[in-house]
Structure 1
Amino acid sequence: MTRHIGVVALPGFSLLAQACATEPMQVANRLAGQTLYRLSMFAVDERPVVSASGQMLMPQSIVGQSSEPLDMLMVCAPVPLVASVPQPLLEWLQHLSTTRVVLAGIGGGTEVLACAGVLEGYRVTLPWPGFAAFADEFPGIRLSRQLFEIDRERLSCGGGTAAMDMMMTLIGSQHGNELAQQISEYFVLERIRMGDEPQEVPMSTRLRHAPQSLTDALALMEANIEEPLTTHELSEHLGISRRQLERLFKKFLQVVPSRYYLSLRLQEARRLLRESDRSAGDIALYTGFSSAAHFSTAYRNHFGMTPREERLR
């Protein structure tokens, strides 16, 4: 069965995110030797749509005027939106939401779907710079900070290359994981990232106004994964009191140092479980756990599954 996929772009959209969302489908067609996906490009009028990089996308159709039924419509838009969403697009999205058409937000496309009122009851995400404004404007929508979300008939992602991971996951669910893996290899990707992986907000952004002692503390933690330092040892290295270090973590990261350090080590353990063939015991020692049992308990408490279950996924 060939799926008809519509792509609508708004001025200022990310050409990278749009390509990451559409190219996996074209490669799927090539590798499968048949047309699994057929793309149609839409815009609000007949003029070319200019991307953030100044390149133009020529539409084939006008929104709301598809000559054939769609299986999915992807909305590509900038973050934040640079203009109000055209009324014809809002009305089309509202109409499509009453059918079985899947709606996907790429980049700021999630905000467009929210403006159309078609995200109530769904879990969604969008690029991290838009988190705060989106949460304020749409408090009733379940916003996650994950790489991408596939919740029934609604898809959303963190923009950029996250769109590629989302689409390869979708292709895998529709045509098998083997094809999805072949697509990943075609793009010379090490692996397909999973949707439950968090978006990495740059530490320079999170700690823009933080004192140097806090950034130094984070650097010490990252350099001592295998042999973790105690909070007291960290404060001694930095030349500040333990209480002062704890206050800095609470103020800028909303967590105590020991909890942040444990999360850092467990995130590294998760990466190794997913990307390497090292045994869980070796990974436990590498990330500073005294025993496999201690590692398994901490991992389950943090991620809701054991290291063995993680690897089986």
Structure 2
Amino acid sequence: MSDRLFYVLLPRFNMFSLTNLMEPARIANYLSVEDVYHKKYLSFDGADITASNGMAVKCEMAPEQIRRNDLIFIVGSWGAEHYANRKLFSWLRLQARNGVRICAVEMGAYVLARAGLLARRSATTHWSYLAGFQEQFPDVDVQEQLFTEDGPILCCSGATAGLDFMLYIIGGRHGQALAGEISDQIIHHPVRQAKDAQRKTLGRGIAKLPSDVQAAIEVIESNISEPVAVPEIAKTIGLSQRQLERQFKKSVGCSIVQFGLLMRLQHARVLLISTDLGVRESATASGFNSLSHFAYAFKKCFGRRPSDYRQAWPENDTAPHWPGTLGRFLDTLQPQRRDGLPR
């Protein structure tokens, strides 16, 4: 009997994430004498659910009983940080009591947390929302990694991590040989492990950052609310301040202080759109002592005032926009000519 994969789709889900979860299972069927997986799309929000790219998927109502060998995916993206459907929460709690495996995909972690299924468990979500998720659910052991498994409750960070997650699931259920054949078919090498990091380059080309620079970034990101001075970062890593600043500038394209500012602005943005914290509280939690400096830097980086940034994808916008990349931030640091172009 084939295992069933139930994809519970939330409005504005990420089609890319869904595809990466489905394709390894489809290819497993392709390489097997008989189908080993059977899929169903479920919804608690109507028969047709539209993804963030505008494509719609026809869904069924959720069955009350799910077998233990089956796997439920909660596929959520834009807006899932505020999603609250009590019928879905009750259904998930019922399946969890019956020992069914449930996997939150990307922003679907918010749904499992609100259903009370992530308390005191390890979990992950897409790296861009980790700060807001941890702020809202302090009883969850949040990890920045590709996917987590804590008993029957699993989390996948989304996007291409879905490929690695499904190869892990298929390998555990049907053997590593089949998982290896699938990775060859989809030309996905190397297959990454659960604890591998979600980010590698921070947008600075495809080469990995030097280990000392990575270590400095880890110190910065671990101390957002109380920024660490550059000499202290250098001391922690074991380099002189001058050596570290030279390596950082060469690899990242800006100074350590400038990079720290961007990290704190990005952290504040996530708090604004995914928590109930006000502007002043978000600024303080992101290491800003001056509200006026925070407001000025925020608008310069993201093009909007902090008070205007309470939704990641406003209802009246036809498509989401997520400005504030490192490359764009570096452009704002360049002196401008009269025609508006960098010198």
What is residue 92 of structure 1 aligned with on the other side? 91
> In 2 relative to 1, CA 10–235 (structure 1 residues): closer, same or farther, beyond 3 Å?
closer
Whole-angstrom CA distance in 1 between matches of 2:67 and 2:246? 64
SS of aligned partner of 1:203: coil
CA positional deviation for 1:181? 0.8
What is residue 145 of structure 1 aligned with on the other side? 144
Question: 1:145 is aligned with what amino acid?
Answer: E
Correspondence 1:33 to 2:33: yes
Question: 2:198 is aligned with what amino acid?
Answer: Q
What is residue 56 of structure 2 aligned with on the other side? 56
What is residue 122 of structure 1 aligned with on the other side? 121
Question: 1:109 is aligned with what amino acid?
Answer: G
* Counterpart contact for 2:66–2:100, Cα < 8 Å: no
Correspondence 1:192 to 2:201: no
* Counterpart contact for 2:4–2:37, Cα < 8 Å: yes
The alignment yields a C-alpha RMSD, in angstroms, of 3.4
* Counterpart contact for 1:169–1:192, Cα < 8 Å: no
Whole-angstrom CA distance in 1 between matches of 2:78 and 2:106? 6
Matches within 5 A, 1:3-42: 3-42=3-42
> In 2 relative to 1, CA 120–235 (structure 1 residues): closer, same or farther, beyond 3 Å?
closer
Question: 1:144 is aligned with what amino acid?
Answer: Q
Spell out, residue by residue over 1:1-55, the C-alpha distance to the aligned partner (whole angstroms, 9 max, x if none). Answer: 4212211101110001011112111111111221211111101144310000000
The range that moved more, 193-202 or 33-42, is: 193-202
SS of aligned partner of 2:177: helix
- Sequence identity, in percent? 24
Spell out, residue by residue over 1:41-98, the C-alpha distance to the aligned partner (whole angstroms, 9 max, x if none). Answer: 1011443100000000111x213x3576462110100145264221211110111110
SS of aligned partner of 1:32: coil
> In 2 relative to 1, CA 249–83 (structure 1 residues): closer, same or farther, beyond 3 Å?
closer
> In 2 relative to 1, CA 199–79 (structure 1 residues): closer, same or farther, beyond 3 Å?
farther
Match of 1:234 among 229, 238, 243: 243
TM-score normalized with structure 1 length: 0.65
Whole-angstrom CA distance in 2 between matches of 1:99 and 1:16? 30
SS of aligned partner of 1:54: coil
The range that moved more, 229-238 or 110-119, is: 229-238
Spell out, residue by residue over 1:119-171, the C-alpha distance to the aligned partner (whole angstroms, 9 max, x if none). Answer: 12321111011101110111001110111112221111111010110111111
Whole-angstrom CA distance in 2 between matches of 1:234 and 1:112? 45
Is there any run of 5+ residues in structure 2 with no aligned partner, and where? 205-209, 217-237, 264-343
* Counterpart contact for 2:26–2:37, Cα < 8 Å: yes
Question: 1:102 is aligned with what amino acid?
Answer: R
Matches within 5 A, 1:204-223: none
CA positional deviation for 1:247? 7.8
SS of aligned partner of 2:91: helix
Question: 2:95 is aligned with what amino acid?
Answer: L
Matches within 5 A, 1:268-307: none
TM-score normalized with structure 2 length: 0.59
* Counterpart contact for 1:79–1:127, Cα < 8 Å: no
SS of aligned partner of 2:190: coil
What is residue 302 of structure 1 aligned with on the other side? none
Whole-angstrom CA distance in 2 between matches of 1:237 and 1:22? 45
Is there any run of 5+ residues in structure 1 with no aligned partner, and where? 206-214, 222-228, 255-313
Question: 2:120 is aligned with what amino acid?
Answer: G
Question: 1:231 is aligned with what amino acid?
Answer: S
Matched pairs, number? 229
